[in-house]
Structure 1
Amino acid sequence: MPSRPSHARGLDAFDRAILRIVQRDNKTPQRVIAEAVNLSAAAVQRRIAALEDAGVIARNVAVVDPDAVGLAITAVVEVHLRDERAATVDAAKALFRETPDVQQCYFVTGGVTFVLVIVSRDMRTYEALTRRLFAENDFVERYRTLVALDRVKADTAVVIP
């Protein structure tokens, strides 16, 4: 995945106010946003389009409750690669990016190569996935799974300074 440019320097107070609203509920009518930020609905529409074009608004999605669709297991997995050569890291990134069960993937520092958040239907399904992603891959040295007992907070909102 290419690095993302920083757009924060080009955001004004109106853009930031709009972002605070739409990241909580992107179905908020533009006239309601306009009233809240003291702009016209047309100005809000133009600003939202510009924020999307600039990549500040990366996607418009529905956030689905995993439990509601039968995904009972959430696991946080630490992955240690055998080496950190560019080809090895790139292969791991591609594999994790292509795996739908991997909800989040972070290439990190601190003695661990990757931290993944994985959602799965049950432990049997999760075990099969770990075999494919970790146990049967030569580039993985070891991994450690932390199974979530309770989803205390899972938010998508970014703090807008």
Structure 2
Amino acid sequence: MSKSRQTRRSLDTFDRAILRIIQHDNKTPQRTIAEAVNLSAAAVQRRIAAMEEAGVITHNVAIVDPGAVQLAITAIVEVHLRNERSESVDAAKALFRGAPEVQQCYYVTGGTSFLLVIVTEDMRTYEALTRRLFSETDLVERFRTLIALDRVKAETSVVIP
């Protein structure tokens, strides 16, 4: 992330209202957003651009149903590192960040080092990934896998007060 994107931007009620709308559907026309928040379309456009520049809005993406692209396995994985030295943690972050199958990665407290959400096409692919990410590295002491039976809720938006 660039220095300019690390600058904190103070959000007012208009910004928060805009974010609530575009988190639900970022293809909502700016004139529709403008009517909903009582601003001009140009003002909405400027505010969205400013929030992107400040790093408040980090990505504009399409959410894909894993089943629609034959990604049948969703695994939630607890990863325990051999040690918590900063070099080890940084190396693990880079390893997990570089694996496209890792959809989400959290460095956490409470006895577990990382929680990962991994999506793969089948168990054979998952096993190969676990060998690459966990078994063939000196970083990981152990890991525990939970296989999701049903995707009950996969919310992508942040609750904005």
What TM bracket, shorter-length normalisation? over 0.9
- Does structure 1 conserve the Cα–Cα contact (< 8 Å) formed by 2:7 and 2:55? no
Counterpart in the other structure of 1:46 = 46
- The number of equivalent residue pairs is 159
Query: Which residue of structure 2 lines up, in the alignment, with residue 58 of structure 1?
Result: 58
Cα RMSD (Å): 1.5
Q: Deviations over 1:27-47 (max 9, x none)?
A: 000000000000011111111
Distance 1:24 1:6, change over 3 A: farther
| Secondary structure of the corresponding residue to residue 24 of structure 2 | coil
Question: Which secondary structure state, in structure 2, belongs to the residue aligned with residue 160 of structure 1?
Answer: coil
* TM superposition shift of 1:19: 0.3
Q: Name the counterpart of 1:29.
A: 29
- Determine what percentage of the aligned residue pairs are the same residue: 76
Superposed, which structure 2 residues align to 1:112-131 within 5 Å? 112-131=112-131
CA deviations 1:34-80 (Å, max 9, x no partner) are 00000011111111111111110111111111111110000000000
- Name the structure 2 match of 1:73: 73
Which residue type is aligned with residue 119 of structure 1? V
CA distance in 1, matches of 2:15, 2:124: 46
Residue matched to 1:154: 154
User: Is the contact made by 2:106 and 2:116 (CA closer than 8 Å) also made in structure 1?
Assistant: yes
Partner of 1:23, secondary structure, is helix
**Structure 1 consecutive aligned stretches of length 4 or more whose deviation exceeds 3 Å:** 4-8
- TM-score with structure 1 setting the length: 0.95
Matched, 1:101 2:121: no
AA aligned to 2:48 is I
Q: Aligned-pair distance for 1:139? A: 1.3
Offset at residue 7 of structure 1 (A): 3.6
User: Taking structure 2 as the reference length, what is the TM-score of the superposition?
Assistant: 0.95
**Which residue does the alignment assign to 1:91?**
91
* Residue 6 of structure 1, CA deviation: 7.6
